[in-house]
Homo-oligomer: A and B are copies of this chain.
Amino acid sequence: MSNPSLLILPGDGIGPEVMAEVRKIIDWYGAKGGLTFDVTEDLVGGCAYDKHGVPLADATMAKAQEVDAVLLGAVGGPKYDNLDFSVKPERGLLRLRKEMDLFANLRPAQCFDALADFSSLKKDIVAGLDIMIVRELTSGIYFGEPRGIFEEGNERVGINTQRYTESEIDRVARAAFELAMKRGKKLCSMEKANVMESGILWREVVTKVGEDYPEVALSHMYADAGAMQLVRAPKQFDVIVTDNLFGDLLSDAAAMLTGSLGMLPSASLGAPMANGRPKALYEPVHGSAPDIAGQGKANPIACILSFAMALRYSFDQGAEADRVEAAVEKVLADGLRTADLLGEEGVQPVSTSQMGDAVVAAL
Contacts and interface: CB of A to CB of B under 8 A. Distances in A.
Contacts of A148: 197
Interface in A233-268: 233, 245-246, 248-250, 252-253, 255-257, 261
A291 interface: no
A293 B147 CA distance: 44
A159 interface: yes
Nearest to A253: B227
Interface SS of chain A: helix
A333 to B, nearest CB: 23
A142 B202 CA distance: 16
A23 interface: no
B85 A200 contact: yes
A90 B197 contact: no
A231 interface: yes
A31 interface: no
B233 A253 contact: no
A198 B120 contact: no
A348 interface: no
Interface in A122-137: 122, 125
Interface in A91-150: 94, 120-122, 125, 141-142, 144, 147-149
Contact of A200 (B149, B163, B225): B149
Given A120-B122, A122-B121, A142 B252 contact: no
Number of copies: 2
A165 B154 CA distance: 10
A219 interface: no
Interface string A187-212: 00000101111111110000000000
Given A192-B245, A231-B253, A197 B160 contact: yes
Interface string A164-182: 1111000000000000000
A167 B194 contact: no
Contact of A157 (B163, B231, B256): B163
Given A161-B159, A249-B227, A120 B197 contact: no
A306 interface: no
A326 to B, nearest CB: 28
A37 B144 CA distance: 49
A160 B164 CA distance: 9
A162 B159 contact: yes
A162 B164 contact: no
A125 B148 CA distance: 39
Contacts of A230: 253
15 contacts: A120-B122, A147-B197, A152-B165, A158-B196, A158-B200, A158-B201, A158-B202, A159-B162, A192-B248, A225-B252, A227-B249, A227-B250, A228-B261, A245-B245, A249-B249
Interface of A: 76, 85, 88, 90, 94, 120-122, 125, 141-142, 144, 147-149, 152, 155-167, 192, 194-202, 223-225, 227-233, 245-246, 248-250, 252-253, 255-257, 261
Give the 6 A-B CB pairs with smallest separation, nearest first: A158-B201, A158-B198, A224-B252, A227-B253, A231-B256, A228-B256
